[in-house]
Structure 1
Amino acid sequence: MDKQTIDEGKSIAITSYILIIGVLIALSMNSENKNPFASFHIRQGLGLTLTFIILGVSISSFESILVAAPMWIFISVLTIYGIFTAAKGETTPLPLLGNLFQKWFKTI
């Protein structure tokens, strides 16, 4: 990817890591002129948001900080990692699930 494409899509890419609402904003910002760099990070952000929702719903019945804290730490670390890779202009998938997100959401 060339530097101009990365620079044009950097703000969209960073926005996509704001859980839930950021993905929707980034999708609308990237809808007209598809930027490949932004699309990569939108897929990562969407996957991270869906993982957050699925984990949150599945552990909500436990009502224990010992169960909830690891989920929050996991999501927070992946979010920070995604923001830093987007800010640096890299297209590195998130650890563990990033490659799956790219496959599952390849139409975005």
Structure 2
Amino acid sequence: MNQNTIEEGKTMSIVAYLTIIGSIIALIINNDKKNPFVAFHVRQGLGLCLTYMILGYFIGNFNSWNVSIGFWIGFGVLFFYGIIGAITGKMNEVPLLGSLYKKLFKNLGN
């Protein structure tokens, strides 16, 4: 992948990490251009958003600030890691879950 492809896809790659709506918007916009850099970050961002929502439902049942704050900080770090990767033009998988997202959403955005 060349530097021009990365530069063209940086904005949509960042948008992919901004809520589930951002992931869907980036996916739809990338359908025409088929940028592999954007597709990678859409998979990672969508996976993080869906995992956050699913786990958040169960974490909310604990009714404990300690558990909730730990959950928010953990996912905040993962989202921040993904956004920094998109800004710097790198295709680093999100720690712990990135390879799973890559397998689950392998056909997404191609």
Quote the residue 1:48 is aligned against: 48
Query: Quick check: 44-53 or 18-27, which moved more?
Result: 18-27
Alignment of 1:10-49 (within 5 A): 10-49=10-49
State how far apart, in whole Å, the 1-side matches of 2:20 and 2:41 are.
14
What RMSD, in angstroms, separates the aligned Cα atoms of the two structures?
0.8
Structure 1 residue runs of 4 or more that deviate by more than 3 Å after TM superposition? none
Identity %: 49
Give unmatched runs, 5+ long, in structure 1: none
2:64 aligned partner: 64
Query: Any idea what the Cα deviations from partners look like across 1:14-62, whole Å, max 9, x if unmatched?
Result: 0000122211111111111110000000000011001101111111111
Deviations 1:74-102 (A, max 9, x none): 11001111000000000010001001111
Q: Which residue of 2 aligns with 1:95?
A: 95
TM-score (norm 1): 0.96
Number of residue-to-residue matches in the alignment: 108
